[in-house]
Amino acid sequence: MKIRSAETLVTSPGRNFVTLRITTDDGITGLGDATLNGRELAVASYLRDHVVPLLIDRDAARIEDTWQYLYRGAYWRRGPVTMAAIAAVDTALWDIKAKAAGMPLYQLLGGASRTGALAYGHASGRDVPELLDSVRAHLAKGYRAIRIQTGIPGLDSVYGVAASSAAGGERYDYEPARRSTTAVNRPVEEVWDTRAYLRHLPNVFEAVRAEFGPELPLLHDGHHRMTPIQAAKLGKALEPYDLFWLEDATPGEDQAALRLIRQHTTTPLAIGEVFNSVYDYTTLLGERLIDYVRSAVTHTGGVTPMRKLLDFAAVYGIRSGLHGPTDISPVGMAAALHLDMAVHNFGIQEYMQHAAQTLEVFRTSYTFTDGLLHPSDTPGIGVTYDDDVAATFPYEPAYLPVNRLKDGTVHDW
Ligand code: CS2
Ligand code: MG
């Protein structure tokens, strides 16, 4: 089973997605997600110009060998562009292997360890009443675990909070793919104040617990904005509200920062959506500094390394909480779901839900019932790509916002 062709597909049904489609000489196709939000065309070029020519005539069955060839063979290792490109190849080859076997991918990964993957959705509100409405709307949609983010008094807008009615919040719970209104397309800039955030957030959790009780798993994302001591303080302040996790408290590069947070709080910690290699986790896992691994299949080199990473985490009793925002395509989402089904140390799966337009291009078979996601038993990863619909949504330049402090200093996020 040789690779006959590999196509790099770029489309923008609501937001930009990069997909690799590999076709074998016996006509089996496989899909892989290569979307890197705000830097999409860099990955498309990496694939088109440097990877696709190497794939033609390779044995499609040799997934591990192809992964090592692309990773070690390039000399230049890691990095989000490289790893998103390798992820797309790896995922597409797993899709092909599972289709050839006539099985859903999770069967090849060892079979189901559970009936479905507990998913969390994103509730948000510009203020507390709007947030409470958004939580209610998510419960009505069937979510059994919910991330909460709110506006902060004194700040105009906060990333992760829907700009329009949060209770509706159907399409995106926020707009990371904002189009600029200026002639030159530049990122939107937001103003941030960590002290105001730290003062406000415990009150938000107080209000949500008062309204919805102690049972509902609640999560929160700090978007890498705190110093270690600020994060330690927040973790302590949130202990009475029994969070499922506090995510990305400090900037991702600094693994040692988590030591300080850990010494001060029992609030569970999650990190890793901007990581792209197991080497980003060695201190975190080896010293048990986190509770959940947040990586995405799409940004960590695919199904092959993600399985290894989760097995490494399992040695330390650390569980998965794979990244699943709408800037990961339905292909990347489905790949995550197969892993969620198979690994023993599953924790939770992020599930924001794609826009209807996105799902016209990417036809999914995964289901969401009673708060649990299931990848379906369709052979492969269970997603198809509609070229005709995709062609009606050409690429549109878009950036994630940039974050500044009140004095204009560029800040982490
Ligand atoms: C967020 C992401 O889902 C999350 O936890 O942090 O939406 C993240 O901001 C985007 O994926 C960035 O592309
Ligand atoms: Mg996050």
Q: What is the CATH number of the domain that holds 50?
A: 3.30.390.10
81 and 219 in a single domain? The answer is no
Q: Which domain holds residue 166?
A: 110-377
pLDDT at 316: 98
pLDDT at 14: 96
Condensed to tens digits (0 to 9), the pLDDT of residues 172-222 reads 444 444 444 455 688 999 999 999 999 999 999 999 999 999 999 999 999
- For 104-138, what is the HEC assignment? EHHHHCCCCCCCCEEEEEEEEECCHHHHHHHHHHH
Distance in Å, CA 324 to ligand 2 centroid:
9
Query: Which residue from 403, 389, 413 is spatially nearest to 19, judged by alpha carbons?
Result: 389
Residue nearest to atom 12 of ligand 1 (CA): 37
Q: What is the maximal distance between C-alpha atoms in the chain?
A: 61
149 and 272 in a single domain? The answer is yes
103 and 114 in a single domain? The answer is no
194 and 285 in a single domain? The answer is yes
Counting residues of the chain whose pLDDT is more than 90, the rounded percentage is 92
In a domain, 46, yes or no: yes
89 and 125 in a single domain? The answer is no
In a domain, 298, yes or no: yes
* For range 362-385, the mean pLDDT: 98
The closest ligand to the CA of 324 turns out to be 1
Query: Which residue from 271, 266, 276, 123 is spatially nearest to 204, judged by alpha carbons?
Result: 123
Rounded distance, CA 6 to CA 48, Å?
9
**Domain end (from 59, 80, 107):** 107
Closest ligand 1 atom to Cα of 350: 3
Residue nearest to atom 7 of ligand 1 (CA): 325
In a domain, 384, yes or no: no
DSSP reduced 3-state for 18: strand
Rounded distance, CA 377 to CA 379, Å?
6
Condensed to tens digits (0 to 9), the pLDDT of residues 72-91 reads 999 999 999 999 999 999 99
Calculated CA dihedral for residues 40, 46, 47, 49, nearest 10 degrees:
130
Condensed to tens digits (0 to 9), the pLDDT of residues 87-128 reads 999 999 999 999 999 999 999 999 999 999 999 999 999 999
Tokens 């196509």 correspond to: 7
128 and 87 in a single domain? The answer is no
Rounded distance, CA 331 to CA 385, Å?
9
Q: What is the CATH number of the domain that holds 140?
A: 3.20.20.120
Query: Which residue from 90, 95, 24 is spatially nearest to 57, judged by alpha carbons?
Result: 24
Would you name the residues annotated as active-site residues?
159, 223
> Is residue 167's pLDDT more than 60?
no
Calculated CA dihedral for residues 64, 65, 70, 76, nearest 10 degrees:
90
Q: Are 294 and 246 in contact (CB under 8 A)?
A: no
Residue 156 pLDDT class (50, 70, 90 cuts): confident
Tokens 């938000």 correspond to: 204
In a domain, 382, yes or no: no
Closest ligand 1 atom to Cα of 159: 9
Cα angle 2-337-161, degrees, rounded to a multiple of 5: 125
In a domain, 399, yes or no: no
In a domain, 365, yes or no: yes
Q: Is 183 exposed, middle or buried (0-12, 13-18, 19+ CB in 10 A)?
A: exposed
198 and 102 in a single domain? The answer is no
Residue in 173, 294, 327, 349 to alter for ligand 1 test, most ligand atoms within 8 A of Cβ: 327
DSSP reduced 3-state for 89: helix
How many folded domains does the chain comprise?
A: 2
CB neighbour burial string for 316-326, b if at least 16 within 10 angstroms, e if fewer: eebbbbbbbbb
Counting residues of the chain whose pLDDT is more than 70, the rounded percentage is 95
* For range 239-246, the mean pLDDT: 98
160 and 257 in a single domain? The answer is yes
> Is residue 162's pLDDT more than 80?
no
Is the shortest distance between the CB of 273 and ligand 1 below 6 Å?
Answer: yes
**Domain end (from 79, 107, 135):** 107
In a domain, 386, yes or no: no
Distance in Å, CA 264 to ligand 2 centroid:
22
* For range 252-260, the mean pLDDT: 96
Query: Which residue from 222, 244, 250 is spatially nearest to 152, judged by alpha carbons?
Result: 222
Condensed to tens digits (0 to 9), the pLDDT of residues 261-298 reads 999 999 999 999 999 999 999 999 999 999 999 999 99
**Domain end (from 107, 132, 164):** 107
Q: Which residues have CB atoms below 5 A from the ion given as ligand 2?
A: 221, 273
Residue 34 pLDDT class (50, 70, 90 cuts): very high
